[in-house]
Amino acid sequence: MAVNSEYWDWHGAPAPQPRYCGKPTSWVSDERTQIRIKFEKGRDEAGNPQLDGTGKPLYEVTQVCDVSKLQSCGLRIEKFDDGAAAPTLSAIPIADTHLLSSSDLSSFDVLLARAKAVVSPAAEYFEKSMEGKRGAQLARMKAARMFNPLHVQSSGAVTEADIDALQLFRFSTHTKIFPKIQEMTTELTKYNSLINSIKPLPQRLDAKGNDTFTLLNFWRANEAGRGAGLRVRAPRRARQRPQLDPAGARLLRAQ
């Protein structure tokens, strides 16, 4: 969120910047007239926040703020730190009271009203907490689904847009990882072809009805450095460290 600098008393001195961004942490009480917010330490002339050694914004000590004063000083919901859009809640219909009090279970309107009364709070919570508060995490989880061939098989081929979505991850800008992500665009045809070669589920079932497909085997069978294979390598077991025999006299060969 962000609020105008007039929220604070600068004692006659000009405010360092017109608006300040902050991160709400919790309500002070159930009345929700006050809220705890930690504000950024400030921004430079280009509008960039002050960052710590890990690249995250620096914040002041958490303050208790009056909601009414915040609203009078231009309170506005802003984007998340990682650039994800601010949450927007759509209106969720509320069932009419007279329908909820009715015992006529043969009425479709009564049954629909009762269903809405049960589902609407859960839908509102999901929209606020998952799509809103945790929207950035949800977006990253969606971006990572391209590495699951079964998901790709059911949802459609991987495209360059799917690769571009990996920018949601902070590590995507790492000097060793960024070039690898760029190279993935040259592997789309190969990757989609390998996924298309996966047998349909009825053909993958064993005698007990279990799916014989495993992600680990899929990636191991198509490792990088094997001709036209993919550059993404499958996980490997960590190498076992040499161990001492009971007497501690010599090193045993790692199995």
The pLDDT tens digits of the residues spanning 66-76 come to 988 998 998 88
| CA 84 vs CA 49, 78, 133, 164, 204: distances in Å | 16, 9, 10, 15, 39
Same domain, 169 and 126: no
**Domain-embedded: residue 17:** yes
Give me the helices (H) in 31-93, please.
67-72
Same domain, 125 and 96: yes
Q: Look up the pTM and report it.
A: 0.44
Residue numbers of the domain that contains 42: 1-78
Same domain, 122 and 178: no
Query: What is the structure's pLDDT at 88?
Result: 59
CA–CA gap between residue 255 and residue 247 (Å, rounded): 19
Same domain, 118 and 44: no
Same domain, 148 and 122: no
On whether the CB atoms of residues 67 and 84 are closer than 8 A, the answer is no
Q: Report the pLDDT averaged over residues 126-152.
A: 86
Residue 234 has pLDDT above 70, yes or no: no
**Domain-embedded: residue 246:** no
198-210: per-residue pLDDT in tens?
999 999 999 999 9
- Among 60, 78, 96, give the residue marking a domain's end: 78
Same domain, 149 and 110: no
- Among 58, 78, 98, give the residue marking a domain's end: 78
Same domain, 106 and 179: no
Query: What is the structure's pLDDT at 232?
Result: 47
Same domain, 113 and 150: no
**Domain-embedded: residue 229:** no
Same domain, 65 and 99: no
Same domain, 22 and 52: yes
Average pLDDT, the chain: 79
Same domain, 7 and 45: yes
CA–CA gap between residue 245 and residue 23 (Å, rounded): 56
Same domain, 118 and 161: no
Which tokens go with 151?
Answer: 């998901």
169-209: per-residue pLDDT in tens?
988 999 999 999 999 999 999 999 999 999 999 999 999 99
**Domain-embedded: residue 160:** yes
The CA-based dihedral angle spanning residues 158, 222, 171, 82, taken in that order and rounded to the nearest 10 degrees: 20
Please enumerate in sequence order all residues whose Cβ is within 8 A of that of 71, keeping only pairs 6 or more positions apart, or say none: none
Domain count, the chain: 3
CA–CA gap between residue 127 and residue 87 (Å, rounded): 8
Query: What is the structure's pLDDT at 62?
Result: 92
